[in-house]
Amino acid sequence: MSYVRQYDNRVGITYIYEIIEETNIEANQKKKHRKLIGKVDPETGEIIPTGKRGRSSTGKKAKFPLPPETNENYEIMYKDAIVQLHKSQESILDLSREVNELRSKYERIRSWLEQGNQIMK
């Protein structure tokens, strides 16, 4: 579960969304859903909940602290992305080797069957 900030130029408000990722193992697919949590108060940098569930009945605004964006977070995300890239490249190489082996086996079997058909004629 992660959070995303999105700035809306039309109204000048930054919204906070929660990203929920679901994996369907049978179909081998991933789906991401965004859920609006609130908007960022420009003065304090805190989240102000929006929607029916976020508003209090007394009209007071509930505020939650928002973790600051730092370059360290981006560096960690970059390093993780590099590791995932290398793993993906290794996987692609392994699968390419496997495809080539299967092709050569297919060609041997095909030639063997063609020889058998010629003998039968």
Q: Could you tell me which of 77, 15, 59, 72 has the C-alpha nearest to residue 41?
A: 15
Beta bridge partners, 120, equal none
Q: Report whether pLDDT(55) > 80.
A: no
- Interstrand relation of 13-24 and 29-40 (parallel, antiparallel or unpaired): antiparallel
The structural domains of the chain, with segments of one domain joined by +, span: 1-68, 70-121
C-beta of residue 1 within 8 angstroms of C-beta of residue 20:
yes
> In angstroms, how far is CA 104 from the centroid of its own chain?
36
Predicted model pTM: 0.39
Q: Looking at the predicted structure, is the pLDDT value of residue 38 above 70?
A: yes
The more confidently predicted of residues 94 and 73 is 94
Q: What's phi and psi for 45, nearest 5 deg?
A: 80, 15
